[in-house]
């Protein structure tokens, strides 16, 4: 037996705000492999997420195969649009969903983790964050502000995570982010600069793997997952069409399950993947390898 064993390791997964996305599935897979898990949650969603946990509304999702339930070590507020509090506009600081959260920036998250667990407490950092305020706008019509916000939150923040959390990582640590094939292929309707952000994320993964590998002794990879109907993905507006199209045109004709990504993430974070870094790992039933569509118009009615 060759198990994925993360016993004794601590993971920080940024971008968990409900039980329906890849971030939550990754957290669950890490738990099953023996890791302890902290999560970072967008401040406006944090209260709702904590309420769901406290009232048992997602108890079934927290249940593990052995009958136990996963319990997060910490839930931290984080808005990855800001490196430090001096960058946060007054109207954001004073907003009711932010003002009682303390330092919710990337610097604040780093400081909180260090204060809670010491100077080198992490083995795994997962960047499960993406946002493009104009994602439904064709790229050609995207504003400068919308484009730069998509890049900032969806790609630059991953770079900032590697730089700022690198010193907190134990030897052999693993950074992981989530991409999408729109960074490599044209996906009409996936706009607002999000395709550019995913392309940047994948390019940065290669360069960061080199730089962070030499500086911190850690690995950096990204998972390019097939489309999945998470709550966050509803912002795209045509996610069901994306899912149907991908299923029909994939070598393995099935929908992606969030656990597919979770299991791959656990493997990439484990000692079994010691020699894997700088890679974009596709978890899409092979869709990325196809060069010609299978025409089935009825599927998209």
What residues are labeled active site? 180, 190
Residue with tokens 């004794």: 8
Calpha distance 51→183 (Å, rounded): 35
- CB of 128 within 8 A of CB of 22? yes
Beta strand pairing status for 36-41 and 10-14?
parallel
Calpha distance 296→88 (Å, rounded): 48
């Amino acid at each position: 037996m060759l198990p994925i064993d993360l016993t004794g390791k601590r993971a920080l997964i940024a971008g968990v705000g409900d039980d329906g996305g890849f971030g939550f599935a990754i957290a669950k897979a890490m738990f099953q492999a023996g890791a302890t898990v902290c999560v970072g949650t967008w401040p406006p969603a944090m209260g709702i997420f904590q309420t769901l946990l406290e009232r048992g509304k997602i108890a079934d999702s927290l249940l593990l195969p052995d009958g136990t339930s996963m319990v997060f070590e910490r839930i931290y507020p984080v808005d990855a649009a800001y490196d430090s509090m001096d960058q946060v506009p007054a109207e954001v600081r004073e907003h009711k969903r932010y003002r009682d959260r303390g330092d919710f920036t990337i610097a604040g998250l780093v400081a909180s983790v260090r204060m809670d667990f010491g100077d080198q407490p992490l083995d795994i950092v997962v960047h499960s964050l993406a946002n493009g305020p104009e994602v439904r706008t064709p790229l050609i019509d995207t504003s400068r502000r919308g484009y730069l916000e998509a890049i900032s939150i969806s790609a630059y923040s991953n770079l900032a995570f590697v730089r700022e959390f690198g010193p907190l990582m134990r030897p052999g640590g693993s950074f992981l982010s989530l991409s999408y094939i729109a960074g490599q292929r044209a996906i009409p309707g996936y706009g607002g600069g999000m395709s550019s952000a995913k392309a940047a994320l994948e390019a940065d993964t290669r360069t960061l793997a080199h730089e962070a590998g030499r500086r911190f002794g850690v690995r950096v990879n990204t998972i390019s997952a097939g489309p999945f109907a998470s709550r966050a993905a509803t912002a795209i507006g045509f996610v069901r069409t994306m899912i149907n199209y991908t299923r029909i045109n994939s070598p393995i004709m099935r929908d992606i399950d969030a656990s597919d990504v979770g299991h791959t993430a656990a493997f990439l974070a484990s000692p079994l993947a010691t020699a894997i870094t700088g890679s974009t790992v596709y978890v899409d039933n092979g869709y990325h390898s196809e060069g010609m569509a299978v025409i089935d118009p009825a599927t998209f009615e």
